[in-house]
């Protein structure tokens, strides 16, 4: 589609949505509350006979796949509750962030279809090792339910469906954790803003957390754009840990400081970290309209979720990092929004890395039982001299699947003459529980050329095996 056609289609879509958005927003706001709401009643227990000795519960965050003008589908986002049982191979997952909207499963108007998950959890059985292949027996689907990668009792990655669903990044929850003093977490922003969003969004940053009993304090919040500019975020209010529909989580109540979004935080025993800032939470209304401020600069896709890991106490050994074997997902949020294959299972370490470079690739045909190629290079570059585990000169070269980088400064070819894209930015790396976790975000400039957000992102979430 040429630029004039794309702009004409955007104007038509905007015109078609103006009225329906107001009606839809009003309907959603009257439907009930979403998010990780505090509850004195625990969620339903795992069905009898399905719970084994290695059952783990996780709290997750997901980016918003798309909104209004940008995409034909508004699909999910927000907070998730996940259970994976390594003994019985039982699994369960549920988008708690959209709890209460089960009566609004499909709303169509003009060129836009608004899709919400059902309130019932998706449950079934998993097969395989490394990548868990999920087959649902009940819930939103009774067919292929996606893939998961687990660090048992610490963290899990979930793709809840096909390759046009964005991943859920989650951490284990067994109770309210006790931190030892001020703990520093480094993170990346999860997702991409829409093309109509004029705010500047967080690419990466850090914060410190401490707790006294169930009271949590967040200090020294830093957020930076892809070009390294500080966003000078608003300080986060005090949070409280307790049992919610998600499991045990730290909740910050909506206020002016959070732009009236619920902020949900969870950390694993060894230091995996997620913070859901209300992105995709339909109950907040701001998902469907532009707003500004708060700790993440909000837009029509809401704020961005934050995912990362506790900062290492000493500098990491680069040889040990690039010499490891990793499973995870490559995630291009804008490709997902356009209905393209944007969330792909990947493997790194099949070809040994060297220096600061790792090699890997996405599995053919979205099938982790096949052999992954080695056509992606991830060069971490030097570790930041002042921040252990932070790499601010990352270079990623990926296959140019949609010919978005041809004849651009960031375009090239591989050894076989196939087109590639080369992007730059940041990674945060930690070694919770003695295994490396790598969270990468690079600026996908091909999306800016296509007239989408200039700070569109390409992510990699990699867990050492």
Task: Give mean pLDDT, residues 93-119.
Answer: 59
The residue among 357, 299, 298, 347 whose CA lies nearest residue 461 is 347
- Return the minimum-mean-pLDDT range out of 133-147, 227-241, 384-398: 133-147
State residue 461's pLDDT score. Answer: 98
Please report the pLDDT score of residue 68 as a whole number. Answer: 39
Nearest to 196 by CA among 289, 114, 293, 77: 289
Higher pLDDT, 139 or 367: 367
pLDDT at 281: 64
**pLDDT tens digit string along 248-259?**
999 999 888 887
Q: Label the pairing between strands 112-115 and 106-109.
A: antiparallel
> What DSSP letter does each residue of 28-40 carry, written as one string?
HHTT---SS-B-S
pLDDT given at position 20: 32
- Alpha carbon 40 to its chain centroid, in Å, reads 28
Whole-number Å distance between alpha carbons of 162 and 151:
22
- Predicted confidence band of residue 203 (pLDDT cuts 50, 70, 90): very high
Choose among 172, 170, 174, 173: nearest CA to 157.
Answer: 170
Q: In the chain, pLDDT over 70 holds for what percent of residues?
A: 73
Of the listed ranges 138-147, 199-208, 318-327, 355-364, the least confidently predicted one is 138-147
pLDDT per residue over 53-100, tens digit each?
689 999 999 987 544 333 345 567 889 999 999 999 999 999 887 765
Q: How far apart are CA 39 and CA 61, in angstroms?
A: 19
Contact 115, 106 (CB under 8 A): yes
Cβ partners under 8 Å of residue 111, min gap 6:
9, 12, 13, 16, 17, 72
User: What confidence score (pLDDT) does residue 395 get?
Assistant: 98
Q: Which of 65-69, 73-77, 141-145, 407-411 has the highest mean pLDDT?
A: 407-411
Torsion of CA 253, 259, 262, 266, to 10 degrees: -100
The residue among 245 and 22 whose pLDDT is bigger is 245
Helix (H, G, I), strand (E, B) or coil at 12: helix
Per residue in 412-465, pLDDT (tens digit) is: 999 889 999 999 999 999 999 999 999 999 999 887 655 566 788 999 999 999
CA distance 438 to 255: 32
Provide the pLDDT for residue 279. 78
CA separation for the pair 167, 190 (Å, rounded): 10
The 112-115 sheet, strands edge to edge: 73-75, 112-115, 106-109
Over residues 209-214, the mean pLDDT reads 96
For 8-42, b where at least 16 C-beta lie within 10 A, e where not — what string?
A: eebeebeebbeebbeebbeebeebeebbbbeeeee
Sign of CA dihedral 171, 149, 277, 37: negative
- The predicted pLDDT at position 35 comes to 38
Residue 101 has pLDDT above 60, yes or no: no
pLDDT (0 to 100) of residue 195: 60
Q: Tens digit of pLDDT for each residue in 347-363?
A: 999 888 899 999 999 99
**Contact, 123 vs 90, CB < 8 A?**
yes
Q: What is the pLDDT of residue 200?
A: 73
Residue 407, CB-side half-sphere exposure with 13 Å CA sphere? 0
pLDDT class of 4 with cuts at 50, 70, 90: very low
| % of residues, the chain, pLDDT over 90 | 56
Least confident of 5-19, 66-80, 375-389: 5-19
Three-class DSSP category at 444: coil
Residue 37 has pLDDT above 90, yes or no: no
State how far the Cα of 78 lies from the Cα of 246, in Å rounded to an integer: 11
Provide mean pLDDT across the span 301-326: 92
pLDDT of residue 335: 83
CA distance 309 to 33: 30
Q: Which tokens hold the place of 258?
A: 């959070």
The two structure tokens encoding residue 335:
């490709």
User: For position 343, what pLDDT does the model report?
Assistant: 94
Using an 8 Å Cβ cutoff, are 64 and 124 in contact? no
Residue 45 has pLDDT above 90, yes or no: no
């Amino acid at each position: 589609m040429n630029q004039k056609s794309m702009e004409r289609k955007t104007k038509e879509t905007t015109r078609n949505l103006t009225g329906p958005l107001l009606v839809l927003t009003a309907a959603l706001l009257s439907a009930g509350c979403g998010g990780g709401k505090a509850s004195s009643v625990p969620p339903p227990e795992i069905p009898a006979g399905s719970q084994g000795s290695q059952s783990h519960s996780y709290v997750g965050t997901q980016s918003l796949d798309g909104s209004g003008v940008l995409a034909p589908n508004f699909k999910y986002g927000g907070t998730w509750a996940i259970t994976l049982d390594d003994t019985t191979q039982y699994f369960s997952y549920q988008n708690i962030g959209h709890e209460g909207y089960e009566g609004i499963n499909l709303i169509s108007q003009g060129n836009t279809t608004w899709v919400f998950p059902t309130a019932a959890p998706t449950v079934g059985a998993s097969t395989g090792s490394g990548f868990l292949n999920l087959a649902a027996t009940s819930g939103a689907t009774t067919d292929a339910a996606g893939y998961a990668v687990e660090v048992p009792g610490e963290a899990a990655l979930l793709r809840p469906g096909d390759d046009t669903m964005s991943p859920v990044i989650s951490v284990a929850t067994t109770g309210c954790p006790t931190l030892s003093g001020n703990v520093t977490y480094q993170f990346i922003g999860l997702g991409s803003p829409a093309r109509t969003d004029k705010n500047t969004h967080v690419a990466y940053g850090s914060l410190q957390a401490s707790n006294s009993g169930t009271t949590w304090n967040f200090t020294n919040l830093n957020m930076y754009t892809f070009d390294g500019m500080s966003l000078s975020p608003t300080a986060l209010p005090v949070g409280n840990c307790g049992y919610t529909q998600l499991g045990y989580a730290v909740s910050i109540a909506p206020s002016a400081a959070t732009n009236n979004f619920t902020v949900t935080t969870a950390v694993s025993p060894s230091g995996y970290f997620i913070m859901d800032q209300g992105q995709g939470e339909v109950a907040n209304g701001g998902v469907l309209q532009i707003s500004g401020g708060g700790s993440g600069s909000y837009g029509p896709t809401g704020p961005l979720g934050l995912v990362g890991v506790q900062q290492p106490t000493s500098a990491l050994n680069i040889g040990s990092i690039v010499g490891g074997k990793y499973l995870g997902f490559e995630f291009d949020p804008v490709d997902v929004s356009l209905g393209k294959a944007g969330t792909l299972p990947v493997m790194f370490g099949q070809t040994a890395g060297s220096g600061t470079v790792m090699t890997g690739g996405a599995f053919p045909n979205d099938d982790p039982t096949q052999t992954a190629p080695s056509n992606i290079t991830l060069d971490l570059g030097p570790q930041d001299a002042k921040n252990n585990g932070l790499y601010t000169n990352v270079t990623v070269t990926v296959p140019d699947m949609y010919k978005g980088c041809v004849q651009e400064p960031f375009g090239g070819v591989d050894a076989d003459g196939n087109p590639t894209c080369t992007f730059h930015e940041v990674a945060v790396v930690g070694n919770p529980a003695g295994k490396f976790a790598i969270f990468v975000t690079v600026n996908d400039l091909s999306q800016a050329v296509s007239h989408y957000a200039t700070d569109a992102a390409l992510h990699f979430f990699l867990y050492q095996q």
